[in-house]
A and B are shown apart, each in its own frame.
Chain A
């Protein structure tokens, strides 16, 4: 059973506009969340993370929002650039239970020039 879900397989956005990628989770024990970006033929690379004690974390053009009551997180990219075109995975873990991570199925973002 998928504990982390990304319900949108793909998203297209115009360059300069905001991209919003969504992620839902079912396990209320998750307390650490991450977003990874993946280009074709490469491994995922870390983008941004958030702890459950926060509801927002910002790093440049990337902001992650966490809504614990809704078990929902989102990644905002502003402004979107063509180089942001990639597959984005959200991931979650329970920190005190070792190194086990649960990933979503990914959302393919296309930023149109």
Chain B
């Protein structure tokens, strides 16, 4: 089944404790993105990647890092999480900029 998977689905952590949210897709897509969804702000793009080792900042990249060492994986790293990073995070992938993005099920993060 073609899908985008994210782990963990739910995470509670404390300020400053490094964490990684994994994202994997099995569709051989070149393009991948991370978004966060917040009430009243909709979905905002954090980072995107157009291929292995090619990443670029989205609208709200501060406090986040990403890496794209393999085509299928695009982890989101929070080196020192803060409470304002409490949010619902989505990973997405697509075959190109004109193409449909397929979203993962989301990761709900709470930073205390």
> Which A residues lie at the B interface, using CB under 8 A?
2, 4, 6, 32, 34, 36, 41-46, 49, 89, 91, 93, 95-96, 98-106
B90 touches A44 (CB 8 A): yes
A89 touches B48 (CB 8 A): no
Which of A4, A41, A44, A100 is B58 in contact with, Cβ under 8 Å?
Answer: A100
Residues of A within 8 A of B4 (CB): 43
Residues of A within 8 A of B43 (CB): 44, 89, 91, 103, 106
B44 touches A103 (CB 8 A): yes
Tell me the count of chain B residues lying within 8 A, CB to CB, of chain A. Answer: 28
Given A89-B42, A102-B59, A106-B42, A46–B106 Cβ distance below 8 Å? no
Number of A-B contacts (CB under 8 A): 67
A42 touches B98 (CB 8 A): no
B89: min CB distance to chain A, Å = 10
Given A89-B43, A106-B42, A45–B103 Cβ distance below 8 Å? yes
Given A43-B4, A89-B43, A99–B106 Cβ distance below 8 Å? no
15 contacts between A and B (CB under 8 A): A2-B42, A4-B42, A43-B104, A43-B106, A89-B42, A93-B97, A95-B97, A99-B31, A99-B48, A99-B49, A99-B94, A100-B56, A101-B45, A103-B45, A106-B43
Residues of A within 8 A of B98 (CB): 32, 95
Given A44-B90, A98-B56, A103–B35 Cβ distance below 8 Å? yes
A63: min CB distance to chain B, Å = 18
Please name the residue on chain A nearest to B30 by beta carbon: A99
B98: min CB distance to chain A, Å = 6
Q: Is B12 in contact with chain A by the CB < 8 A criterion?
A: no
Q: Provide the bound-state CA to CA distance between A34 and B92, in Å.
A: 14
Please name the residue on chain A nearest to B4 by beta carbon: A43
Q: Is B13 in contact with chain A by the CB < 8 A criterion?
A: no
Residues of B within 8 A of A101 (CB): 33, 45, 101
A46: min CB distance to chain B, Å = 4
Q: Is B76 in contact with chain A by the CB < 8 A criterion?
A: no
